[in-house]
């Protein structure tokens, strides 16, 4: 064995008093040498990322639309607006087919996605389907069911 392996090295430490400005300069130069934290762009996106974001977006969108409609329905008599079901159905019936399909699809997908993902969360609340493989599988299952059911609701 080498003799250097067991030798001790002594480091000499010194203390000196620094002014506040000198201390700030040293701190600033040390910060320049620190590694930059990794950004999200270096990570491989997962279905769980998109699923979580989409669940929040669809929930906020659906609740926002419901609150806005409720508020408008509440004040509609003050302004003479007709927001009752018969008036809305008649107005919707007069739209061109493409507009109806686009509106129905834009309402159907958020509704179905948020509903199916809510069921997925209820399954998780029981403690089931928590392995990585199951989470990925259920995530894609929710997407598939949402797309198929949204298409079905759109053309109903």
Q: Which residues of 68-91 are buried (b: 16+ CB within 10 A; e: fewer)?
A: eeeeeeeeeeeeeeeeeeeeeeee
How would you class 150 by CB atoms within 10 Å of its CB: exposed for 0-12, middle for 13-18, buried for 19 or more?
Answer: buried
Select from 150, 154, 155, 142 the least CA-distant residue to 52.
142
Tokens 């906020």 belong to residue: 60
Tokens 């590694």 belong to residue: 35
Q: Is 114 annotated as a binding residue?
A: yes
Positive or negative, the Cα torsion across 80, 62, 103, 84? negative
By residue count, the chain amounts to 156
Tokens 């203390």 belong to residue: 15
Q: What residue numbers does the annotated binding site for heme cover?
A: 114
Output the known binding site: 114
């Amino acid at each position: 064995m080498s003799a250097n392996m067991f030798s001790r090295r002594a480091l000499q430490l010194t203390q000196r008093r620094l002014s506040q400005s000198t201390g700030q300069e040293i701190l600033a130069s040390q910060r320049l040498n620190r590694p930059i934290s990794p950004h999200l762009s270096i990570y491989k996106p997962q279905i769980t990322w998109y699923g979580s974001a989409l669940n929040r977006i669809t929930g906020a969108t659906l609740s926002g639309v419901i609150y806005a409609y409720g508020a408008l329905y509440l004040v509609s008599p003050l302004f003479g607006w007709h927001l009752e079901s018969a008036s809305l159905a008649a107005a919707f019936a007069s739209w061109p087919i493409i507009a109806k399909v686009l509106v129905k699809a834009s309402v159907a997908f958020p509704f179905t996605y948020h509903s199916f993902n809510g069921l997925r969360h209820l399954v998780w609340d029981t403690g089931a389907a928590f392995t990585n493989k199951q989470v990925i599988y259920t995530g894609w299952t929710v997407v598939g069911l949402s797309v198929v059911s949204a298409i079905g609701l759109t053309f109903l």
